[in-house]
Amino acid sequence: MELWFMGTNAGMPIAERNVTSIVLRMPQNRGTFWLFDCGEGTQHQLLRTPFKLSKLEKLFVTHLHGDHIFGLPGLLSSRSSLGVTAEMELYGPPGIRDFVENAFRISDSHLGYPLRIYEIGEGEAYRDEDFIVEAAALDHRIECFGYRITERPRTGALRTDWLLEIGVPAGPLFGLLKSGQDVALEDGRIIRSEEAVGSSLHGRVITVLGDTKPCGNAVALAKDADMLVHEATFLADLAEKAGEYGHSTSIQAAETARKAGAKRLLITHFSSRYKQEDLAELESEARSAFPNTEAATELKPYSIPRGNVDDNRQ
């Protein structure tokens, strides 16, 4: 799994940075990607990546400010123009349905695929056999949500080489061992499933927060996260301004990561007052409170590795 930032600027695009949108590349066996927010220019940025709109499975919107949604009607329309017929799901705060449907109605646009729109509240937004997505309200000027994506744990790999070496024939016995059952061989030996299967793999946790001041729900959503994406609109010297506009400073983002026990922090949503060379200062300031911090770079993959369930997650 990987995160890719299609935009890291706040409010409006500048020459060096686009506005907010984040790709979550799903595991290889799934072959799809999810999108979090869709600011203006998102589909242009996607053209510079390996991601194809035909593989866009779900889109989650944090809130209805323009720098997070103005790219949405165009992207959805382009997905249809490309001939994609696979269903897509859109999740977001109340009002997202009106925004999309009115944009299509006024522009006389039509989709050639089913679009399922879900207006969310706090709690579980989505689940399947592999992932659970939870949402909680943040502290911004309008209704805004953060998302916690939890991957379910997976059993470890079957130790096939070892099993063949000790005389276990490939076939149905392998399946039984993989499913957690012990098996008896013809010579009377008992092979324990716990010996035949490698260490289980913990489910990764990715937290993507929308715009927010420091708040309890941000910490709760980010608890023990493998990766936390948090806005850092301003440096600490503008903390009063950040609070007035419902935003966070780089230090405040780092303090949220520290309180939550997150493993890694990516800061984003930088004010237009900061040029690209200024982001090192935002990053350095955040690292003073949470060392494993990086200022997100657009169109760069950030890998989210999987570990064993008994790994130290501090």
Task: List active site positions.
Answer: 67
- 140 carries a ligand binding annotation: yes
- 247 carries a ligand binding annotation: no
- 63 carries a ligand binding annotation: yes
Residue 313, token pair as written in the block: 């997650």
CA atoms within 13 A on the CB side of 280: 1
- 202 carries a ligand binding annotation: no
Beta bridge partners of 33: 25, 56
What are the DSSP calls for 66-106, one per residue?
A: HHHHTTHHHHHHHHHHTT--S-EEEEESTTHHHHHHHHHHH
Give the C-alpha separation, 200 to 220, whole Å. Answer: 25
Instruction: Report the 10 Å Cβ neighbour count for 29.
Output: 6
Residue ranges of the alpha helices (H) in the chain?
42-46, 66-69, 72-81, 96-107, 160-165, 172-178, 193-196, 216-221, 239-244, 250-260, 279-287
- 211 carries a ligand binding annotation: yes
Q: Which residues are annotated as a binding site for Zn(2+)?
A: 63, 65, 67-68, 140, 211, 269
Q: Which residues are annotated as a binding site?
A: 63, 65, 67-68, 140, 211, 269
